[in-house]
Structure 1
Amino acid sequence: MKMLRLPRAKVQVGLPLPWNVRDEQCLLLLSKGHVIESEHQLELLLQRGAFVDVEEIRALAREAEPAQPKAIVSPPNLFDLWDRTTDELHKLLGEVAQQPDFAARLDQFARHLVELVDLGADIAIYRIVRQDNAKNFYYGYYHSVHTATLCVLMARHLEWPPDRMMSLVKAALTMNLTVLDLQGQMAGQDVPMKDKQREAIRRHPAQAVELLEKVGVADADWLTAIAQHHERPDGSGYPLGCTELDELAVALRVADVFMAKISPRALREALSPQVAIRELYREDKGGPISTAIIKEFGIYPPGDFVRLASGELGLVVQRTGNARAPIVASITDTAGHAVARTLRHDTGQSEFAIVANVTDKAMLMRLPPERLYGFSAAPPV
């Protein structure tokens, strides 16, 4: 123990001692916190010989140093994380038969997707709605991820148990297992489906189930949902034309069809969410599954391009308790000129109410979504 003579200037009468005080032999005289009540008492202590442990003085000095400002940590760029899911799914589904641990890896991927939804459901919906720059040859993989995302939102709204939700999500990711590349080819062609393509599409539910069983998938809910996801209650579906359908299969079909309606292809433009929702509600006769999608999306879902009463154009970025009044991030001024600084508006206020959807999407093609949500743009890969 290295000792230093007690500095007179550091002791204040009437205040607690900041350290222990010892004699020359290191024996304790006064404990830390003891109050010296008079100048006379202090003089007697100093005359006797008072010392302090150097390490105690250093420790007190460290405590008195101003706290260093915490490093600013940027929030994770969820758009970058979401974009990676397509490549990850492509690698995972590319050679299913050669992966003895496929079921476990697919389960891990599905849980990661659910975590991304939980980190930002509004961003998940934004990606579903905004597909302006989607590549046709990857259509099958985008579609699988988007449909699985919608299934998470739908199952959560319906308050399904986690295991049941996971079976549905994994079915969405693998329902088109044997035609993923064909889907990309068809999305990019400017002619209707050919007979050979139609036949492959009709066979794919049974083929997907067969392949999944070969690699060890034994979840009956997962497999049944895939086997029946193109069947319809009136018997007009395929491949078997059955009418007694599993609830998960019905949910998967509804999510699959809805996503196909709002996804662009070379042969046709995507339907707006509003039109697709009206068609969905009519086809499902207002059932609980279509209602769940409608409730999750709202009238103006995140990603919707709208005009405000102020004259500004903007993108919906956040749902609120009012389905007709989401939060919108403006990308123009009141005259319709592009602006560098994004402002958020509560469309529940009359001056910023939504007055119309905007159909001309040209100015969105180069708009980084990170700007709207406050993320740093992802670095080039």
Structure 2
Amino acid sequence: MHLVPVSVESIRINQPLPFPLMDKNGVLLAKRSFVIDSKEDLAEIAQRGGGLYIDVADSEAHHRAYVGRLHSLVRTGKSLGEIADAKITGDLLDNRNAQENERADWLDLQVQTNALLRDTQPSHFMDKLERLNTQLNRHSRSNPDGTLFALMQLSATEVRMYSATHSMLVSVMCGLAAREVLKWSPEQQDSLSKAALTMNLGMTSLQDQLTRQAEALTPVQRRAIDAHAQKSVEMLTDMGVTDAVWLDAVRDHHTQVPGPLQSRAPGQQLARLIQRADMFAARLSPRAGRVPISPAAAMQACYFDENRQVDEAGAALIKAVGIYQPGSFVRLATDEVAVVIKRGQNTSTPRVAVLVNRSGMPTLEPTIRETSTRDFRIVASVPHREVKVQINLERLLPLTAAPASDRPW
């Protein structure tokens, strides 16, 4: 690695970094796509690192942006003084940033969400939440299968940032159901996704702790869990949230009352959808005190309500994400084990990629199968813990963006 210095003025505030920032020794200060919120934060990073440096491999983009800026100033007749003072700011990196944003860095989004839920300073929280919500919505619209794939895989393997991963998965699942099945308004969808992201704001640290705790809940922990929904509402109100539907959804997201959605107040409609998705996602995740169940079994649990009747919100979720969701594992009639990469024409016939052949050996390259054909039909859901193949997100995510057959809704 060969490092070259960059000026503080060339770094854009409130925009994802187009390249990693390092100190003079090559120690990482900020990852690519990390968002620096203020000039003060940038100055602190630069001071900590004794200056800002980038790999020479990234300097070409930096240089192109600078040269482009100079040409633009010359064409528009700016003074020599303005040209001499030119910095790489404004719209110079917009196209590059837009391209970077199209490729979701799920590990980085995980870190961003974790930081958001733990650092609830009113001056930063709402801006960071808006930015995170925008990114998740963009990815779930441009590649819903890839978004589900990444979050399902992270939910099944990640325990250190469980609360962050869980809230993202619930938000995306609810968003897909609201948009593709229930046809809720954009305003409802916005309140819904933000409510899902912030539903456990009042117990983020405790929630992460409990995933690693094998012992029974203490009385103090039980009281904190029981009070967390109201505490989350109070924290959001203190940070300036005035959306009553959003707040009602957070307050009631653990309420278990069966019945159709239309008979409920707007906030309670959102709360019911969140409650069903919350139940599903929680059963997928590994815990010190129990093993996770298969996605198909978790989805079946949210499909029926407290009276063992079909639940409208649960049914909408299944229709949106499928019985076998992208990122989950299945066994085929061929006795191969595959990972789901795309939802299919109906909820039970997704497109899959074979990772383990019928002899039980990992495949060198994933083989695509259409489970709508009889020879490759799904015969069972496979719990994540039983699949010993290491999933490489960068390798498999491109498969989720391949053209798919039209969905019927």
TM normalised by structure 2 equals 0.66
2:119, 2:125 within 8 Å by CA — same for their partners in 1?
no
CA distance in 1, matches of 2:136, 2:384: 31
Moved beyond 6 Å, runs of 4+: 75-79
Q: How far is the alpha carbon of 1:374 from its aligned partner?
A: 3.4
Instruction: Give the structure 1 partner of residue 47 of structure 2.
Output: none
Give how far 1:107 is off. Answer: 1.9
User: Which residue, out of 318, 323, 341, partners 2:365?
Assistant: 341
Deviation at 1:349, TM superposition (A): 2.1
- For residues 195-229 of structure 1, give each alpha carbon's deviation from its aligned partner in whole angstroms, at most 9, with x where no partner exists: 11010111111111111111111111111111111
**Structure 2 counterpart of 1:211:** 235
Give the match for residue 23 of structure 1.
none
Map of 1:295 onto structure 2 = 319
**Equivalent residue for 2:337?**
313
Conserved in 2, the CA contact under 8 Å of 1:136 and 1:185?
no
Per the alignment, residue 174 of structure 2 pairs with 151
**Identical positions, percent:** 33
- Which of 375, 380, 399 is the equivalent residue of 1:351? 375
Match of 1:248?
270
Counterpart in the other structure of 1:106: 129
Contact 2:156–2:284 (8 Å) recurs in 1: no
Q: Unmatched 5+ residue regions in structure 1?
A: 1-74, 235-242, 376-381
2:167–2:197 Cα contact (<8 Å) kept: yes
- d(CA) in 2 for partners of 1:359 and 1:108? 34
SS at match of 1:137: coil
| 2:304 partner letter | R
198-207 or 323-332, which moves further after superposition?
Answer: 323-332
Tell me, in whole angstroms, the C-alpha distance in 1 between the residues paired with 2:391 and 2:137.
Answer: 26
Task: Decide whether the 8 Å contact of 2:351 with 2:369 is kept in 1.
Answer: yes
- Pairs within 5 Å for 1:137-176: 137-156=160-179, 157-176=181-200
Alignment of 1:82-231 (within 5 A): 82-96=106-120, 98-131=121-154, 134-156=157-179, 157-231=181-255
- Determine whether 1:283 maps to 2:305: yes
Q: SS at 1:149's partner residue?
A: helix
Question: After alignment, is 365-374 or 166-175 more displaced?
Answer: 365-374
What does the per-residue CA deviation read over 1:305-358, in whole Å, with 9 as the maximum and x for residues that have no partner?
222223322111111113222111111333222121111011222222222333
TM-score between both structures, scaled by the size of structure 1: 0.70
- 1:77–1:370 contact (8 Å) kept in structure 2: no
Task: Decide whether the 8 Å contact of 2:305 with 2:311 is kept in 1.
Answer: no
CA contact (8 A) 1:309 1:353 kept: yes
1:219/1:198 Cα in 2 relative to 1: closer, same or farther (>3 Å)?
A: same
Q: 2:332 touches 2:379 (CA, 8 Å); kept in 1?
A: yes
User: Which amino acid in structure 1 is aligned with residue 243 of structure 2?
Assistant: D
Q: Which runs of 5+ in 2 are unaligned?
A: 1-98, 259-263, 400-409
Determine the structure 2 residue equivalent to 1:274.
296
Partner Cα distance (2:169, 2:107) in 1: 11
Residues 79 and 262 of structure 1: CA distance in aligned 2, closer, same or farther (over 3 Å): farther
8 Å CA contact 2:302, 2:314 repeated in 1: yes
**C-alpha distance 356-117 of structure 1, shift in aligned 2 (>3 A):** same
Alignment root-mean-square deviation, CA: 2.5
Q: Verify the 8 A CA contact 1:85 1:145 in the aligned structure 2.
A: no
Moved more, 321-330 or 218-227: 321-330
Following TM superposition, by how much is the alpha carbon of 1:88 offset from its aligned partner in structure 2, in angstroms? 0.7
Q: Which moved more, 1:124-133 or 1:350-359?
A: 124-133
Determine the structure 2 residue equivalent to 1:22: none
User: 1:137–1:359: structure 2 CA closer, same or farther, 3 Å change rule?
Assistant: closer
Q: Structure 1's 104 and 371: CA in aligned 2 closer, same or farther, altered over 3 A?
A: closer
The alignment partner of 1:302 has SS state of coil
Structure 1 position 152, deviation (Å): 0.9
* Partner of residue 281, structure 2: 259
1-structure distance, mates of 2:203, 2:378: 40
- 1:79 touches 1:369 (CA, 8 Å); kept in 2? no
